[in-house]
Amino acid sequence: MGLIFIEFFNMKKLTSLLSLSSMIILCSCDSRTYEDISDNKPIELPVKYTADIKPIIENNCIGCHAEGSFIKPLATYEQVKNNINSILDRIQRPDGDPGKMPKGGSLSPAQINTFIKWKADGLTEN
């Protein structure tokens, strides 16, 4: 009789655990699409160097590409503008490519799209 009670008690715990797990999974479902939560959205507003590009450069590139460094500097608007094709090439290379930039890790899709849109918008400064 004791063995049957233990098996019944374990089955009851298992059933409760499965029910609880199912409820957690169902409650965590989300109706948003990939486009709703993705960082890879089209940019609708015009992109400008000072407001949009410069912060990305300062946070991801200037550590190696500062003025006076041995590597091509990207410290000013003119330097970034004059090197946009090289920048676009380097930031869009696949992971594992030795020429991919920045070296510390990839830019987000939104940051890459910002550079692409800036070029398409005419490389404006302000």
Residue 71 sits in a domain whose CATH number is 1.10.760
Angle at CA of residue 124, ends 120 and 125, nearest 5°: 145
Average pLDDT, the chain: 85
Residues 48 and 109 in one domain: yes
Q: Could you give the dihedral angle defined by the CA atoms of residues 111, 115, 117 and 118, in that order, rounded to the nearest 10 degrees?
A: 130
* Same domain? 9 vs 63: no
Residues 53 and 103 in one domain: yes
Banded pLDDT at 109 (limits 50, 70, 90): very high
Give pLDDT tens digits for 88-105.
999 999 999 999 999 988
Angle CA(108)–CA(109)–CA(112) in degrees, nearest 5?
90
How many domains does one find in the chain? Answer: 2
pLDDT category of residue 76 using cuts at 50, 70 and 90: very high
**Residue range(s) defining the domain that contains residue 70:** 39-120
Shared domain for 63 and 82, answered yes or no, is yes
Q: What predicted TM-score, i.e. pTM, was given to this entire model?
A: 0.69
- pLDDT at position 15 is 76
